[in-house]
Structure 1
């Protein structure tokens, strides 16, 4: 199988976050998709071993921010290459609260979507979380950060827990 065929698939970069009690978690993902318009629903894929997956399941909500092209590698690394279990990812950046009560950072984000968890699908290494969007807002007119831009311009790497990782 030619695994490089998957490189032609179009992706964006997003931060998915959730808050359960005093615990806040978030991680960078490259798989977020609108799956229906009526009702408005999003689907995100999160690795089962991520702290964020556990917090989403506990909270029953999640918030997705679409990262924009103003993001730099320190921002992406902060949310993408550390674990919320041992590191406060929200400490260095502005924090807001979505309509579902989840913490998120509006910095370097062009849109935010607050979701109530509607369904969870186990797809081996990842969970697909399907959420009913209860609030959506454009945060800026900056273009969204695509995975192609992340690789070609920012020279970013794909971490092992990404849904598109190829070892």
Structure 2
């Protein structure tokens, strides 16, 4: 069974954000989809250990933006491989606030959707949230970033907490224990920095 066939599923990449009291966070996900048209409802699936998921649980609201192909990989690194418990995800990032006072990335994004949670489903390691769209807008006409484009052109990796994460076992070299990036080679330079999450050589594991 070839799990890489899952990369062929047609889906985009999105930044999902939420806020509760004075706390705000966001994360990258590829699981956003429309589920109904009247009213318009979207679903999102997030890992229970994800800080953004915990804020959605408490606040009952979230927003989502569609990422464009032109987005800086540093933004994906910030939202995809660092925790909102440790850093302010939006510090130094161009952003606006939606009608629910949740920030969203405003540069190199194609559209945004503001949602109030109407139902959720526990599916083990993850939770599926269904949100009714209370506002949405086109932000740009840039080409959207698909999941396939992220892997094939941007050489992106997938966080371990993502629902689409796949354990890489067929290659040899060094693997970043934070984001899963693979460095192929017998010797990893001591001053090497992961190009995806910015982690130092010390966190790489020999595979």
Interval containing the TM-score (normalised by the shorter chain): over 0.9
Once the two structures are TM-superposed, the CA of residue 5 in structure 1 deviates from its matched residue by 2.6
Q: For 2:62 and 2:124, how far apart are their aligned partners in 1?
A: 21
1:57: Cα distance to partner?
A: 1.0
Quote the residue 1:18 is aligned against: 18
Q: How many residues align?
A: 167
Uncovered stretches (5+) of structure 2, i.e. residues with no partner? 168-207
Partner in structure 2 of residue 99 of structure 1: 99
For normalisation by structure 2, the TM-score amounts to 0.78
Counterpart in the other structure of 1:143 = 143
d(CA) in 2 for partners of 1:154, 1:131: 30
Alpha carbon RMSD of aligned pairs, Å?
1.0
Offset of residue 25 of structure 1: 0.8
- Which runs of structure 1 show a deviation greater than 6 angstroms over 4 or more consecutive aligned residues? none
> SS in structure 2 opposite 1:5?
helix
Question: Which whole-Å CA distance do the structure 2 matches of 1:43 and 1:4 have between them?
Answer: 24
Instruction: Pick the structure with greater CA Rg.
Output: 2
Mapped contact 1:72–1:154 kept (Cα < 8 A): no
93-102 or 122-131, which deviates more: 93-102
Counterpart CA distance in 2 for 1:93 and 1:72 is 11
